[in-house]
């Protein structure tokens, strides 16, 4: 019986920890905010080592938090970084460990039941990378071939849908992370690597001989990538959205994009070499937080 009481108390604590809907009040009260970041999500969010993080979304979030600090009239705002993974990012935002997640999270309808998203800052296009010498130029040529993708990404499901819709069969091989999947392509264990365009471009840029690889074929899917915040916190969402929309209107966001995706970036000063797509420019012109399902309807 006593054990049950302890269990109930522990559960109650958990629930209490989860209920922190007013992020602005929390930031004001503690003078600190926790930014969720990724270790390696291409140029969107990645680590420079030594607990330092950089990237397009990290820079946007830094600006947003500066605006929040101004709005709250805080003399000092302590920004903490918390690395997150695909598996834990949503629970960590929900339970209050992370206040604003600046990684590479796709905004979709299922996730909107658990969390909220700021206006879309980047629209990802899923593409195919192949060896330039392979002669493959579209997805139809991949039937029966070995196709690499990364475990724990939406691309796995996308390939499955494509197989079912077109009655083709790929021999799928899964890397445990993007670097691993790219190694599969590089070492010839796979004929193609299907993944988000910026991740492909980033990996090719870092390869031993970038000229050996090519991104080919049609855009397999478009996905809005957005900054993630807690659900049912309209005041914080408005603060974040307003700040980002202002950057979109002033054209600052295009400059930031250029800095991370076109110019050489640290730590190795290589270029991703991926100018903003039409879909991304469209998202900046009309700020919105539509989930991926609305993009598919078009």
Which parts of this chain interact with another protein (CB under 8 A)? 11, 14-15, 18, 86-88, 90-91, 94-95, 108, 110-111, 113-114, 151-154, 156-157, 160-161, 164, 172-176, 180, 183, 187-189
- Provide, rounded to whole angstroms, the least separation between the CB of residue 271 and another protein: 27
Q: What is the DSSP string of 212-236?
A: GEEEEEEEEEEEEEEEEEESS-HHH
Q: Measured between alpha carbons, how far is 229 from 100 in angstroms, rounded to an integer?
A: 5
* Nearer to another protein among residue 5 and residue 187 (C-beta): 187
* Nearer to another protein among residue 199 and residue 272 (C-beta): 199
- Provide, rounded to whole angstroms, the least separation between the CB of residue 75 and another protein: 33
* CA-closest candidate to residue 216, choices 273, 135, 281, 150: 135
Collect all residues with Cβ–Cβ distance below 8 Å to 260 and sequence separation of at least 6.
43, 44, 55, 56, 59, 272
* Nearer to another protein among residue 3 and residue 113 (C-beta): 113
Q: Decide if 207 contacts 213 (C-beta within 8 A).
A: yes
* Nearer to another protein among residue 67 and residue 172 (C-beta): 172
- Provide, rounded to whole angstroms, the least separation between the CB of residue 20 and another protein: 11
* CA-closest candidate to residue 227, choices 124, 108, 123, 121: 121
- Provide, rounded to whole angstroms, the least separation between the CB of residue 11 and another protein: 8
Q: Give the SS3 label for residue 139.
A: helix
* Nearer to another protein among residue 90 and residue 274 (C-beta): 90
* CA-closest candidate to residue 26, choices 102, 111, 100: 100
- Provide, rounded to whole angstroms, the least separation between the CB of residue 83 and another protein: 17
- Provide, rounded to whole angstroms, the least separation between the CB of residue 94 and another protein: 5
At residue 84's C-alpha, the angle toward residues 80 and 90, to 5°, is 105
**What's the distance, CA 87 to chain centroid?**
13
Phi, psi angle pair for 246, to nearest 5°: -65, -40
Q: Give the SS3 label for residue 177.
A: coil
* Nearer to another protein among residue 105 and residue 243 (C-beta): 105
- Provide, rounded to whole angstroms, the least separation between the CB of residue 149 and another protein: 10
* Nearer to another protein among residue 192 and residue 239 (C-beta): 192
């Amino acid at each position: 019986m006593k054990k049950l009481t302890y269990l109930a108390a522990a559960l109650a604590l958990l629930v209490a920890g989860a209920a922190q809907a007013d992020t602005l009040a929390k930031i004001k009260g503690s003078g600190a905010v926790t930014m969720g970041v990724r270790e390696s999500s291409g140029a969107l969010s990645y680590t420079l080592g030594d607990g330092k993080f950089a990237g397009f979304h990290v820079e946007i979030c830094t600006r947003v938090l500066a605006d929040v600090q101004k709005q709250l009239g805080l003399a000092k705002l302590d920004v903490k970084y918390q690395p997150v993974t695909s598996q834990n990012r949503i629970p960590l935002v929900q339970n209050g460990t992370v206040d604003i997640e600046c990684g590479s999270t796709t905004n979709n309808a299922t996730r909107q039941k658990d969390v909220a998203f700021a206006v879309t800052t980047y629209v990802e296009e899923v593409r195919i990378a192949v060896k330039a010498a392979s002669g493959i130029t579209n997805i139809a040529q991949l039937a029966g071939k070995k196709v690499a993708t990364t475990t724990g990404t939406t691309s796995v499901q996308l390939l499955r849908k494509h197989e079912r819709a077109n009655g083709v069969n790929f021999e799928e091989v899964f890397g445990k992370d993007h670097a691993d999947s790219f190694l599969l392509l590089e070492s010839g264990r796979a004929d193609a690597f299907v993944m988000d365009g910026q991740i492909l471009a980033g990996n090719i840029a870092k390869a031993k001989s970038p000229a050996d690889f090519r991104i080919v074929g049609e855009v397999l899917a478009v996905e809005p990538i957005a900054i993630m915040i807690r659900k049912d916190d309209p005041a914080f969402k408005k603060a974040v959205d307003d700040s980002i929309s202002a950057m979109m209107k002033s054209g600052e966001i295009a400059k930031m994009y250029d800095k991370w995706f076109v110019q050489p970036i640290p730590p190795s000063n290589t270029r991703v070499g991926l100018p903003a797509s039409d879909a991304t420019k469209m998202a900046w012109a009309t700020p919105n937080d539509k989930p991926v399902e609305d993009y598919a309807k078009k």
